[in-house]
Structure 1
Amino acid sequence: MIKIKKITFQGIKQKFQVKKPWDDVIIFVLNILITIPVFIIVHQNLINPNWFFNIDRIILFLLIVVSIQLILRFLRTIILICILLYLMVLIYGSVIGNYGFNSVFEDYNSMMYSMSYNPYPQDIIIAKLLPFPNKSKIINAIEYQNPKVRNFAIMATTKYFKNVKGYSNYRTIIQCFAVFKEINHRWNYVSDPKDGDYIASASESLDYFSGDCDDHSILMAACVRAIGGTPRLIHTKGHIYPEILIGSQKDLEKVNFLIKNILFVSESNQKQLHYHIDERGQIWMNLDYTATYPGGPFLSEEILGALTLE
C-alpha cells in the first residue's frame, strides 16, 4: 500500500525555517544591509530641523531599524525562501547585464567609502539609486563628435594656455581648462520655457552661448570629451553642473598649483578649490558656469545623480 504524504503550508514553513540561533544572525545581517540605504534615502528627502547633536536623525535611524527588525521577524519562518528569491534575482541580473552581484558590491562599497571619507555620506549612494533626469536626451545632446563642437574646443586651446610648458602629463587637463575659460567667459544664462525643460544640443548652444544650467553642462561636457577629457554631469536639487576627472590626490596637487600660480592666478587668489572624491578615490573638479576658475564653489552640495561620460 502506497502512503501519500499530505503536504501542508505549515509543513512547508517548518521545512524551510532556519533553526536558532542562525535565524537571528540572518535577520540581524539583513536588517543592517536594508536599514542603511533606506535611512540614507529617507534622510535625503526629509527637511532637516537641525536638532542638537542631530538627535532627529538618530531617532529616525532607530525607528527604521526597529521597523525592519519587526518585519523580518514576522517573515522569519520563510526567511530562507526570501534569501533564495533574492539570490535568484541577482543571478538573473548578472546574467543579462543588469543589476547583479557586482552592482550590489559596488553600491555598498560606495556607501561605506562615502560614510568614512565624505562629509555628505548620502551623495554617492543617492547618485546610484536615483535616476538622472532627461538622461537619454542629455546623452544625445552631448555631441562630442560633431565637427562644430570639436573645432570650437580646438579654437579655445589655441586661444588660452598654449604656451604653458613643462606639464606634458597634464596637457589635456590644461586644454580642457582653456575650454572652460572660453565657455564661461561667453556664457549668458537664459531660462527654459515655463511649460517644461528645453534640452539644447551642444552644437546649438555654440550659436549664442546662451541657455540654462542643463545647456551649459551639455556644451561643457561635449567640448571636454571632444579633446580627450573625461567629464561627468552632477544633478542636485534644481541644478545640473559639469565636473572633470582630475585623477589622484597627487594629480590634484599639481592641478592646484597650475590653477593658482599659472592658469587662473587672479580668479583663484585666496580661494578654495571645490571637488568631489568618488568611491574609487578619483577626484572630480567643479566646472560650473557660476565659477570664474575650475574648482569654484558649488551652487548646491547635495548630489542626487551623476552621469559619467567615459
Structure 2
Amino acid sequence: MTGFALLTATQQPAPTPPDQRERFYALLPELLASDPRAVALLADIGAGYVDAGPAVADRVINVGIREQLLVSAAGGLALTGMRPIVHTFAPFLVERPYEQVKLDLGHQDVGALLVSAGASYDMAGAGETHFGPRDVALLDTLDGWTVHVPGHADEAQAQLRAALPGDDRVYVRLSGASNARPYGTGPGMTVLRRGNRGTVVAVGPLADRTLAAVEDLDVTVLYAPTVRPFDAATLRSTLSEPDVVLVEPYLAGTSVRRVAEALPDVRHRVLGLGVGTAELRRYGSPADHDAAHGLDADGIRRSVTRFLS
C-alpha cells in the first residue's frame, strides 16, 4: 500500500477529551428535572445550546445581555426558595455584576450555583472583554464561596450534580482546556506523585502539563479540582521540603495566601504561577497566551526548576 502508514495502537492519536461547556449544556435539563427548585438563568450565552424540553422549559429564563440583572434575579429567586443555576462567560458572571454578587447573594445570605465558561482566555480572538483571569481572586474577597476548577468534563459533571441540592454559594469554572482523564472531583486534593524536594499544586486543567513539566524532578504533585475551601490538611500531610509551587489557570498568586494560612508554623517559600497582570494586546490563541504567561509545559518547568534550585 503505497503512500499509507498504518498506525499501531501506541501511535494512534490520543482521543480528544470531552468539552466541559458542552457537557454542562447537555446536563442542564437533567439537573432541572431532578430538582423542582432548580431554575436556569442565562444572559443569551448558551441559550441556543440548551435543549430543555417541554417538561422544564418554564424554568429556563434568558434575561438577555443584562448581567447585573442576571445575578439580581438569581438573588430574588433564591429568596423564594428556588435554586438558581446562573451561566455566562467568566468576566460577565463575576466581574461585571460584582456588586450584585456581593449584595444580592452574599449580603442577603442566599445561595446560587454560578457556572462560567471561557476561563481566562478560551475566547482569545474576542480580546480583553472576554478574558476572565480575575474571577477566583474577586470571589476571594467575599465570604462563603465554594470554588470548583474542574480539569475534565467528568469532574465538572460530578461537581455540578453535587452542588445542586444545597443552598450555598458555589462557583464552577468551566474551561476549554482539559486533562486527558479525570483525576478527582474534590473537595480534597489528590496526590498524583510523591517526591522529596518540594510540592507542586496543579489546579484543574493544568495537571497534565504540570506532570509533563516536572516529569524528572523529585517533587510531590497534588491535584486540586476544588480550590475553595483550600485543602490545607493534604498539603501539610504530604509536605517534604517547605517549598510550594502553585500552578493556577487564573491570576498568578491567587492562592498564595491560602498556603500561608495552611502553614502558619512552618517557615516556607511559595511560588504562585498563573496568568500575569500585564495585558497582552495581540489576541493570538489560548496556546499563545499559555506560553506568554509561562503556563505551557516548558514555562512551568523553567519556573519550577529555577525556584527549587
User: For this structure pair, what is the TM-score category when the shorter chain's length is used for normalisation?
Assistant: under 0.3
Q: Normalization by structure 1: what TM-score? A: 0.24
Larger radius of gyration: 1
- Please state which structure has a larger fraction of its residues in helix: 1
Q: Normalization by structure 2: what TM-score? A: 0.25
